[in-house]
């Protein structure tokens, strides 16, 4: 099962790489695409430069969106946000933690590691509030630990 998680992870990033390659092909063949647009506006050089800039910005924005979507699915973000508000887990400024990323746990067959973004909240507080209420997230929390300064990881199984 460990290989299945790894294959799924590689497949997700393969989608991003395929998008980048497709974007490069479109960029390379943009002159051919522009020939199919019959508009007198496109006769000047500045209009072509403007179209190039719009195309480049659009492809870059879509690539960033795709990578963020692969790092952390929006339904999981919403579910965690709702859960943190429901149990009242916030720091002294009233900020709720957010889900930064989700990745498969290579050490457990059905495990998932969630990276939580929080500021000024100790791991003990997270542990005391999340573990008793983990059923509302439909997960089983195995361990909460902190690798970096402000962003703890939650190891779970489904």
Distance CA(39)–CA(86), nearest Å, equals: 55
**Strands laid side by side in the 98-104 sheet:** 98-104, 111-117, 152-157, 140-146
Residue 92 and residue 127 in one domain: yes
Residue 65 and residue 113 in one domain: no
Spatial neighbors of 15 by CB under 8 A, at least 6 apart, are 66, 70
Cβ-contact 100, 151 below 8 angstroms: yes
Q: What is the CATH number of the domain that holds 125?
A: 3.30.980
pLDDT single digits (tens) 120-152: 777 787 778 777 877 777 777 777 777 666 577
Name which residue leads in pLDDT, 63 or 125: 63
Structure tokens belonging to residue 130 = 């999340």
Backbone angles phi, psi at 106, to 5 degrees: -75, -10
Residue 22 and residue 48 in one domain: yes
For 128, the domain range is: 74-157
Distance CA(74)–CA(95), nearest Å, equals: 19
Residue 91 and residue 125 in one domain: yes
Residue range 3-17: mean pLDDT, rounded: 67
Residue range 21-41: mean pLDDT, rounded: 82
Residue 111 and residue 152 in one domain: yes
């Amino acid at each position: 099962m460990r290989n299945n998680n790894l294959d799924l992870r590689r497949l997700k990033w393969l989608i991003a790489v395929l998008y980048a390659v497709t974007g490069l092909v479109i960029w390379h063949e943009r002159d051919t695409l522009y020939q199919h647009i019959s508009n007198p506006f496109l006769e000047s050089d500045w209009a072509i430069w403007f179209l190039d800039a719009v195309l480049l910005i659009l492809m870059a924005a879509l690539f960033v969106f795709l990578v963020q979507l692969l790092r952390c699915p929006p339904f999981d973000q919403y579910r965690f946000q709702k859960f943190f508000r429901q149990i009242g887990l916030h720091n002294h400024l009233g900020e709720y933690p957010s889900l930064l990323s989700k990745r498969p746990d290579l050490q457990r067959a059905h495990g998932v590691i969630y990276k939580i973004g929080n500021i000024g909240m100790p791991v003990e507080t997270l542990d005391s509030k999340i573990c008793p209420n983990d059923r509302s997230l439909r997960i089983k929390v195995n361990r909460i630990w902190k690798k970096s300064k402000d962003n703890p990881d939650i190891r779970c199984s489904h």
